[in-house]
Amino acid sequence: MRRVSIFVTCIVDQLFPQVGLAMATVLERLGYEVDFPEDQTCCGQPAFNTGYRDEARSVARHFLRVFRDAEQIVVPSGSCTSMIAHHYRELLGDECEGIEGRVWEFSKFLIEVAGVEDVGARLDKVVAFHDSCHGLRELGIKEGPRRLLSRVRGLTLREMDAAEECCGFGGTFSVKFPEVSGGMARTKIDSIVRSGAEAVVGIDASCLMQIRGALSRAQAPIETLHLAEVLAHR
């Protein structure tokens, strides 16, 4: 049996565990044996993005130790994947040799490694897809999730006019500049509302937390779903 390790990310572990379970479910259905190394915590991105390089480096080293023997690491986040695949090199140089070839964002793994688009999911909903920034601009993820969604039975995909616009989360930016971040979130949800979608789907739990929080504050009856949750649904 093929084996994959999952790095669920700290935010999914603590706040959106259903996303991790959904991802594991999809991978198992595709015939993978899913390994969850229990010593995993965070990739270090919060410290790196806030300018604390030493702290980020120490957490990155922890990640590398935990996943030293993992052949393929699947992550339900474009942002954390990009941190590991791209920014570890800036922090650690050759110490992270080869990690960029072993770590995969979930949708990219399905399409490029597992070679599937139809995972046998069904969800009767009209959804809009939010392009999360790091997935889009650092990993080039644009069509993949849409192709996966287009094979979900019962699902209708609507494009929103500001699909590529940032939701305003930005890690510590969201609390250092709350009003600007909140304004960005409201611009995003206006676009979601205009699309007529019942749910917004994304590949990053962090963006979805921001969008979900703003939707809830605006009392807009629109759900947020991680791509993994959609693909696990039957």
CB-nearer residue toward another protein: 6 or 230: 6
CB-nearer residue toward another protein: 107 or 174: 174
Report which secondary-structure segment, H or E, holds 217: helix 205-217
User: Which amino acid is present at 142?
Assistant: K
Whether 44 and 60 have beta carbons less than 8 Å apart is answered as yes
CB-nearer residue toward another protein: 53 or 158: 53
3-state SS string over 37-70? CCCCCCCCHHHHHCCCHHHHHHHHHHHHHHCCCC
Tell me how far, at minimum, the Cβ of 118 lies from another protein, in Å: 25
Q: What angle do CA 55, 56, 62 make, to 5 degrees?
A: 95
Tell me how far, at minimum, the Cβ of 130 lies from another protein, in Å: 12
Tell me how far, at minimum, the Cβ of 117 lies from another protein, in Å: 26
Radius of gyration of the chain (CA): 17
Tell me how far, at minimum, the Cβ of 151 lies from another protein, in Å: 26
Q: How far is CA 139 from CA 33, 143, 171, in A?
A: 25, 12, 18
Tell me how far, at minimum, the Cβ of 142 lies from another protein, in Å: 12
Whether 134 and 45 have beta carbons less than 8 Å apart is answered as no
CB-nearer residue toward another protein: 145 or 152: 145
Q: Which residues bind another protein (CB under 8 A)?
A: 8, 10, 12-17, 20-21, 24, 36, 38-42, 44, 46-53, 55-56, 58-59, 62, 133-134, 136-138, 164-166, 168-185, 187, 209-210, 212-214, 216-217
CB-nearer residue toward another protein: 176 or 194: 176
Whether 187 and 162 have beta carbons less than 8 Å apart is answered as yes
99 Cβ contact list (under 8 Å, min separation 6): 64, 67, 84, 85, 88
Tell me how far, at minimum, the Cβ of 153 lies from another protein, in Å: 26
CB-nearer residue toward another protein: 157 or 177: 177
